[in-house]
Amino acid sequence: MKTTQTYFHFKQNLFAFFILSMIGLFGWSSCMKHNDPELNKGNTPLAITVSDSNVVLQQKNASTDAVVFAWTSGSNHGTNAGISYVFQLAKKGDKFGNAIVENVGKATFSRVYSVATLNDSLLKHWNAAPGVPVTLEGRVVAIVAAEGIPADTSATVTVTVTPYQPASTTLYLIGDAAPNGWDANNATALTPSATDATTFTWQGTLKSGELKFITTLGQFLPSYNKGADDAHLIYRTLDAQPDDKFLITTPGAYDITLNLLTLTITIKPSEFPAYKRLWMLGDAVPTGWNIDTPAEMRVDSSNLFVFRYNEVLKAGEFKIPTATGNFNTDYYMPLTNHPAITDRSAQLVPGGSPDIKWQITNPGPYKITLDIQHLTIDIKPFTPYTKIWMVGDATPAGWNIDNPTPLVADPTDPNVFSYTGPLTAGEFKFPLGTGNWGGDYFMPVLNHPDLSVNQMKFVPKGDPDYKWQITVPGNYKIVINQLYETISITKQ
């Protein structure tokens, strides 16, 4: 029995010894791993190098590396203590009195400056002038984490750097051609490109007059002005510098694109309209002053800059909002309040102030056409035609302009005409007179539309020469309304 107990205690002691040994081994291993970076680095001298001695910074490379300072580990003088590094960068001749000082920590042996960061430091920390080379000197200080060991300081390296003037991150349009005139506090903002922050764009309506660009609301300087020609910019920082501006001679819709790095600009008539929908608002219109559901104008499918509104108007005023639900939206308005309806001038007024309107003094049917590309408006009283014909190889009379097929007037509405009868495969349109191919017509908005499209339009002198097309012969009923310029074509 005693032998068995002795054996049992022996096994217990052996197991305890094993566990303690493992704990000690683990602790020793952990300690060794923790002290790896602090091993004796011998007598390695502390030295620093720079990747380039002459650097010209360019904003197009803003995110790339401009210069790299790299250094050796230096020595911890046999102490096995850690070494921390402090990097210093100063303007040559300042004796590091106005240096940028960075504690880079342990086990870090380089400091990389991007183009944007180094340029920003030159301009803001050392007040360097763009385009003027500045010589900098860098050094590194090694601090050993052990008592009695002095810090080591490397020799210096130098690099000459030429900074650039960074392009503005904001840009505004100003001038009597601009939507908000010369008011620097209310200048019109351009939009920076999502892929290139130095490229700005704007689409909108310009008046006749001059324009330039400012970088900060409320400040006329700095500005970007007309350079050597209409395709180039110049950066202006002083009142004494030339204040040349871009000139807009024809009011209308324009696209502006400019690049602040290349100092280039294009100003050209818009390829696409700024608005896809416009409305009529005012007591001259059946829907009145209801900004939530005003009467919508019709876009001309053949020219998306042209908007039309045909209606019986009351005596009263109207203006043309660019959005609904808010009286403070932008509006198309006349140049002066209550001009003669023969005045074809129009303008875009941001915020609708000043609040000027067109006025209808004689109630009745009108056809209104607004061209937002050329900023013109036609407000014409409409007198219905008393006779309308059909001409074309789809009609019974064919292409006989001297004796085309007549439409029948509606006895209750002078604007409505109809035709019921056979049509063959072919084309047709509606002349408003006979004996002359060069007369006026009602035609489709686009050539050969689907017969379900209910829009037509008045075409002076029949140019462009668009027509409806019948592909399936048979009996049809056609009904047109010449005031609202609508058509219904139904196969019987």
Q: What is the per-residue pLDDT across 118-142, written as a single tens digit (0 to 9) for each?
A: 999 999 999 999 999 999 999 999 9
CATH of residue 230's domain is: 2.60.40.3620
List Cβ neighbours of 451 (8 Å cut-off, separation of 6 or more).
468, 489
Decide: helix, strand or coil at residue 476.
strand
What phi and psi, each to the nearest 5 degrees, are found at residue 219?
-125, 125
Within a domain: 2: no
Residue 486 and residue 397 share a domain = yes
Residue 373 and residue 397 share a domain = no
Q: What is the per-residue pLDDT across 369-409, written as a single tens digit (0 to 9) for each?
A: 999 988 999 999 999 999 999 999 999 999 999 999 999 99
Within a domain: 264: yes
Within a domain: 344: yes
CA angle (104, 109, 110) in 5-degree steps? 80
pLDDT of 8 over the 50 cut: no
pLDDT of 414 over the 90 cut: yes
Question: Facing residues of 189 across strands?
Answer: 172
Number of domains in the chain: 4
pLDDT confidence tier of residue 196, bands split at 50, 70 and 90: confident
Within a domain: 3: no
Residue 203 and residue 299 share a domain = no
pLDDT of 11 over the 50 cut: no
Decide: helix, strand or coil at residue 306.
strand
Among 116, 138, 162, residue at a domain's last position: 162
Residue 191 and residue 133 share a domain = no
Query: Among 12-16, 219-223, 335-339, 454-458, where is mean pLDDT lowest?
Result: 12-16
Residue 139 and residue 60 share a domain = yes
Element (H, E) at 140: strand 134-144
User: What global pTM score does this model have?
Assistant: 0.61
The neighbour count for residue 197, using CB atoms within 10 Å, is: 15
Spatial separation of the C-alpha atoms in residues 445 and 454, rounded to whole Å: 10
pLDDT of 332 over the 50 cut: yes
Share of the chain above pLDDT 90, in %: 82
Mean pLDDT of 163-187: 93
Residue 226 and residue 181 share a domain = yes
pLDDT of 475 over the 60 cut: yes
Predicted local distance difference test score (pLDDT) of residue 31: 35
Predicted local distance difference test score (pLDDT) of residue 274: 86
pLDDT of 4 over the 60 cut: no
Residue 239 and residue 155 share a domain = no
Residue 412 and residue 358 share a domain = no
| pLDDT, mean over the chain | 91
Question: Facing residues of 431 across strands?
Answer: 441
Among 381, 397, 424, residue at a domain's last position: 381
Among 137, 162, 187, residue at a domain's last position: 162
Within a domain: 15: no
Within a domain: 18: no
Mean pLDDT of 283-290: 98
Higher pLDDT, 317 or 62: 317
The neighbour count for residue 165, using CB atoms within 10 Å, is: 15
The neighbour count for residue 4, using CB atoms within 10 Å, is: 7
Decide: helix, strand or coil at residue 477.
strand
Question: Alpha helix (H) ranges present in 151-272?
Answer: none
pLDDT confidence tier of residue 29, bands split at 50, 70 and 90: very low
Within a domain: 67: yes
Q: What is the per-residue pLDDT across 437-452, written as a single tens digit (0 to 9) for each?
A: 999 999 999 999 999 9
pLDDT of 49 over the 50 cut: yes
DSSP line for 181-194? TT-GGGPEEPEE-S
Residue 402 and residue 364 share a domain = no
Question: Alpha helix (H) ranges present in 35-168?
Answer: 115-124
Predicted local distance difference test score (pLDDT) of residue 40: 57
Domain of residue 223, residue span: 172-269
pLDDT confidence tier of residue 194, bands split at 50, 70 and 90: confident
Query: Among 3-12, 88-97, 357-366, where is mean pLDDT lowest?
Result: 3-12
Q: What is the per-residue pLDDT across 35-44, written as a single tens digit (0 to 9) for each?
A: 344 455 567 8
Residue 131 and residue 58 share a domain = yes
Predicted local distance difference test score (pLDDT) of residue 41: 59
Spatial separation of the C-alpha atoms in residues 152 and 45, rounded to whole Å: 9
Within a domain: 24: no
In angstroms, the Cα distances linking 242 to 187, 238, 239 are 21, 9, 8
